[in-house]
Structure 1
């Protein structure tokens, strides 16, 4: 199964409000294993007017299928319909009790009557829950609150009706299923309570987040609202504790239900997998709140609230010239942040910084091989470790030797061109005096955003004269974008929050804080660019590429991955991996005398693949002869090599290797996304079954052998 789907309008997918609203979907499920002659009874209760097929058809477009004849699999990437899961779970429980009760004749008739009453109430609750969720998606806060209140009241009626069947709690066999229904209702109650409390916590920030409804911070400038938000964030901590307690109740109640008591599927609909999925989602909801609490607690300090002004060193990474952390370190800036307002202090070309760096460090051999004009190791190349923190520790150690540069900084922030493009896409074209107007519209000269081509023209095109301050535009551009963001209408704020979070998760923006508490919070939400294994997965893969003398060709390069995985045998799995790189555009005239813009030329790529420690390389193809080697580093075995990719061509790397692996039932792998790259399609063939995921951020992929 793949990771959660990408956000649609407002990315609150990890916030308590969205968690509570969406988490309730995952409490769906079940039907016991029954003989063939009971299937019609199950369907008569489970489906309106006894028409199982019509009900199933309404949800067919929301699930993945292996083929036309396969049962419908639950799809965790689907946008949830609030409360639908627990409603159907309760209906399935009723179907079981009807079957068991039918043995006793009159008792069965009574049970069936109650079941029909409950079914009608449950369907009403489902409609109300869907209405609440739709209102939330539409950012209608009062509508969502009213919808949840209605669901809460309806749950009271459902519980009262369900209690009419309490005698089943004393009957062997039937008691287990009856009690599962109680646990489902308890989980529903707790989930709705968490949703109500979450919306109450969001209400003061309604205006800022783009919700309709009156919030606390509706007056003043954007800077005023940001200041008030940062000053009040700490006040919602007790509310988070209450929401967390409710989510823990949901998790505990669902964990009490034994999935093995239910069949794999009934009537073509998966049952047991839905129970397991609900349990996993509820556990994830509680964990998400736990992870985000430190961020909420530390954000005011990170953003310079309460007069604690912060100073950050900002590195601009050119992802069109890809390097391990996300791009060539092309320029830098020093900024102040106070009460959420960013003020640039200075900005400059990274080459100007290197001119003042007097330490002569031998250049790493792989860089010296291709960067033939370089004699020593420069600051601009000190991001060869894909782990952002490790690279920045090396960078900072040497930056501190540069005279005349600010040293009293609180952290390092790296952003790439995707961040600039996304900001302009949301805020609209931005005008920089002396440089022109920049937009996110496609420029046919490069088939890329106009802002990218225009910056390349200003910064990269060779001239017959020495051009001073080639990258001086980046500072004014950052200032103009910030000013436009502060003056943006509130309708754009949700989009700004959404793209900011999306860019952080995709490692287009990365953070390294010197304060250990701030750094721990950043690492909790995967904002620190740390390259670490996932304790829940035995397999791991990170593909790290570095452009060493290939112009800006990564602007036109994409790649895809195909993995073939065998079942574990003798404590290892055998894997065959193919990585296909494609350059989609013709080459440019890169002769300096021509004076033309050189974006696309032969890519000289230093490729490293991080695998679990103990992995053994069996064979490799596609690399330059003699360039392949393996090393161990920390928790990883690294396979590295070099290859070339010309314009309008492709290159294919093929590897076969083994990975230590003990889980005989499930295949789990963490796919670690390199900063600065576009989403990567990854296809898995695990023991004969094919699935595909899109690696647009770190992915934990799980499937059965």
Structure 2
């Protein structure tokens, strides 16, 4: 290729590169100049905008309310945490009977309640909400309950403080100085003054029940975070009702106490000594009696005598009741000493007193009958110490190895029971002087021992070692309300909704020693009950009663002149069951059992013997009307005069050990 052609080719190549660069530059400019594509947007309608804004506002409001509520609840919890130790201290003071220190704690708790309520009221807006409002109002009701509770606490402590030392509580009351007897008189004289306070407290308790019961527990869940809620509320309602009912039960007692103790006018009582070592249906053989007068709390003895002396003057010839006569074959006529064949104390005393007032020389203006047994004498002497009784010697609660029993029991047995080669006058007249000596020493007792006396009184009433019957209807009702009247035929109303024939079983074991010896001093028994689940409205039970005599026989030959305490026990046994019960089988009695109805109960009646150092087992099977297929409820009645009884319950295979030392309520599930 020549030089010219080469130049032309280079020039062409240069021109092509130039145009290529220009085209590339133009393309770049076109691309940059091309408009950008717009993003796709959906336009919101006005109502959608409003909804969106509303949701944002609600969310913000909810977060604000939740935060505010959490803040208030945190403050409330702090106040509760501060009040809890104070409540615990108040509970401890009450348990230790330090009534004098309670007002300060009540004031502190009341102040804490006011702070908590003030913070709770900051949540008042919840009360206007359609759903949450009910829960807020329930909370307000709890504060109302607290207000009435504080009213009760303040009124109660104010009423009790003047009497703290006499009641055995810690501290000094306003009745200082003078003898215990003087201060008892002052208390009786002021009982009327505190009656309005008692009425106010009774009203407060009823108001609490009304408020608590107005809470609809069904709107609350069974549990929250694993904690029981509804059941706790139901329990609170039942507790409030029980407290109110209990206070109402004791209210007539307080109102009648002054009358019973002769605050208004002197009262005359017939005191019966029931020898529980020779057990009879109401608690013991009626071995001796006394007439006492109580005037403004001061007790004086009018007379005391042997029950046999009383029977000598009882001239009415009444045929012995068939139910007793078929076992007590040594008697043709019905004597006063045997007129306690009904286990219901009122029923027996109505019969006894209607015949007693026919005896010439005996008072016919008796205001009431009080029965006591050896347990009461022994326990009183355990508290006050030994006493001297002119003409009879020393009596104490110390154990006597001759009978392994309290010395007072053995000493009374020697005085009353032991045969002598000479005529001993007024052998059972010891009761009056004995009571007088006990009262005299009680009046001089250090007040620090008063709680022990109070405990003796309560356990004696609960265990039916003391039973009372009054001619005045209101006083009798008061005694029945606190279970001091020995009733069985008319059981106290209960708040549990138990009804015989539906969801309540009943059992009462009543023994009567018809053999004469004091073998019940060495006899005890235990019970086992085996219960099956109900089928077609009836449940089947087996009851085993095992009696044991723990001492060898005494020489009871009259010519020997020895003290006869233990001999063959001839026992008349009656077992009381719900009406409509049907006996299936009974073993261990020596006769054919009788089954009959008595005062709304079914009775199984039999007889057996128990030898010294021996054992007797009574086993019976029967069916009871019972419709509740879930819960088993048993009310077991305790006979007067007997010691605590071990009771083994076996309900559909589940066993539980109980103690019958007073009337027993037992519940479980099948």
TM-score band by shorter chain is 0.7 to 0.9
Would you say the 8 A contact 2:481–2:492 is kept in 1? Answer: no
Q: Which residue of 1 aligns with 2:606?
A: 641
Q: How does 1:464-543 map to 2 (within 5 A)?
A: 464-531=421-488, 532-534=490-492, 536-537=497-498, 538=500, 539-543=505-509
CA–CA distance in structure 1, aligned partners of residues 629 and 128 of structure 2 = 39
- Structure 1 segments unaligned to the other structure (5+ residues): 1-100
Once the two structures are TM-superposed, the CA of residue 241 in structure 1 deviates from its matched residue by 2.3
Deviation of the 1:234 alpha carbon: 1.5
After the TM superposition, which residues 377-392 of structure 1 pair with which residues of structure 2 at under 5 Å, given as runs? Answer: 377-392=334-349
**What residue number does 1:652 align with?**
617
1:702 paired residue number: 667
Aligned to 1:455: 412
Alpha-carbon separation, structure 1, partners of 2:621 and 2:398? 42
Q: 1 CA distance for matches of 2:491 and 2:476?
A: 18
Q: Does 1:309 align with 2:266?
A: yes
Structure 2: which 5+ runs fail to align?
A: 1-58
- How far, CA to CA, are the matches of 2:210 and 2:484 in structure 1? 30
1:203 aligns with 2:169: no
Query: 1:68 is matched with which residue?
Result: none
Q: Does 1:581 align with 2:525?
A: no
Q: CA separation in 2, counterparts of 1:460 and 1:292?
A: 40
- Alignment partner of 2:387 out of 430, 438, 459: 430
SS in 1 for 2:308: helix
Match of 2:12 in 1: none
Q: Which moved more, 1:682-691 or 1:616-625?
A: 682-691
Q: Which string of whole-angstrom CA distances, capped at 9 and with x for unpartnered residues, describes residues 91-134 of structure 1?
A: xxxxxxxxxx9x96665554444333323322332211221122
CA distance in structure 1 between the aligned counterparts of 2:356 and 2:148, rounded to whole angstroms: 52
Partner of 2:204: 246
Q: Deviation per CA, 1:663-686, whole angstroms, max 9, x where unpaired?
A: 444333322211111122333333
Aligned partner of 2:556 in structure 1 is: 590
Provide the C-alpha distance between the structure 1 equivalents of 2:363 and 2:133, rounded to a whole number of angstroms. 70
Alignment correspondent of 1:672: 637
Aligned residue number for residue 230 of structure 1: 188
User: How far apart are 1:224 and its partner, in Å?
Assistant: 2.1
Aligned mate of 2:320, from 363, 367, 371? 363
Structure 1 residue 472, shift from structure 2 partner: 2.5
Q: Distance in 2 between matches of 1:691 and 1:268?
A: 28
- Structure 1 counterpart of 2:647, from 675, 679, 682: 682
CA pair 412-623 structure 1, distance change in 2 beyond 3 A: same
How far does residue 585 in structure 1 lie from its aligned partner after superposition?
A: 2.8
Residue 345 of structure 1 aligns to a residue in which SS? Answer: strand
| Alignment map for 1:254-273 (pairs within 5 Å) | 254-261=212-219, 271-273=229-231
Secondary structure, aligned partner of 1:517: helix
Q: Is residue 341 of structure 1 aligned with residue 298 of structure 2?
A: yes
Q: Is the 2:145–2:212 contact (alpha carbons within 8 Å) kept by the matching residues of 1?
A: yes
| 2:54 counterpart residue number | none
TM-superposition CA deviations, 1:230-284 (whole Å, max 9, x none): 1211221221222123222332333234445556667886554443332212101
Conservation of the 8 A alpha-carbon contact between 1:550 and 1:600: no
Q: Which residue of 1 aligns with 2:580?
A: 614
Partner Cα distance (2:278, 2:507) in 1: 22
526, 535, 538: which is aligned to 1:569?
535
1:429/1:440 contact within 8 Å kept = yes
Which deviates more, 655-664 or 386-395?
A: 655-664
The 2-side partners of 1:173 and 1:444 are apart by: 74
1:295 aligns with 2:295: no
**Which structure ranks higher in relative contact order (CA pairs < 8 Å, sequence separation ≥ 6)?**
1
2: distance between equivalents of 1:463 and 1:567?
Answer: 58
Q: How many residues align?
A: 603
Partners of 2:204 and 2:545 lie apart in 1 by 45
Partner secondary structure for residue 601 of structure 1: coil
- CA separation in 2, counterparts of 1:252 and 1:127? 29
Which moves more between the two structures, 548-557 or 591-600? 591-600
Distance 1:120 1:447 in 2: 60
CA distance in 2, matches of 1:696, 1:460: 28
CA 1:438/1:383 → structure 2, altered by over 3 Å: closer, same or farther?
Answer: same
Partner of 1:681: helix, strand, or coil?
Answer: strand
Pair 282,369 (structure 1): closer, same or farther in 2 beyond 3 Å: same
Q: Please tell me whether the aligned partners of residues 665 and 704 of structure 1 are also in contact (alpha carbons under 8 angstroms).
A: yes
Answer with 422-431 or 559-568: which moved more.
Answer: 559-568
Determine if contact 2:304/2:430 at 8 Å carries over to the other structure: no
Q: Is the 8 A contact 1:400 1:407 kept in 2?
A: yes
Q: CA offsets per residue over residues 407-426 of structure 1, 9 Å max, x none?
A: 22222111111111111111
What does 1:599-610 align with in structure 2 at a 5 Å threshold? Answer: 599-610=565-576
Residues 698 and 248 of structure 1: CA distance in aligned 2, closer, same or farther (over 3 Å): same
Distance 1:168 1:653, change over 3 A: farther
Deviations 1:640-673, CA, capped at 9 Å, x for gaps: 1112222333322222222223344433332221
Cα distance in 2 between the residues matched to 1:167 and 1:503:
56
Q: 1:123 aligns with which of 81, 84, 89?
A: 81
Compared CA separation, residues 516 and 248, structure 1 to 2 (3 A):
closer
Q: TM-score, normalised by structure 2?
A: 0.84
- Cα distance in structure 1, aligned partners of 2:253 and 2:417: 39
- Equivalent position of 1:37 in the other structure: none
C-alpha deviation, 1:213, in angstroms: 4.0
RMSD (Å), alpha carbons: 2.6
In structure 2, distance between residues paired with 1:562 and 1:125: 47
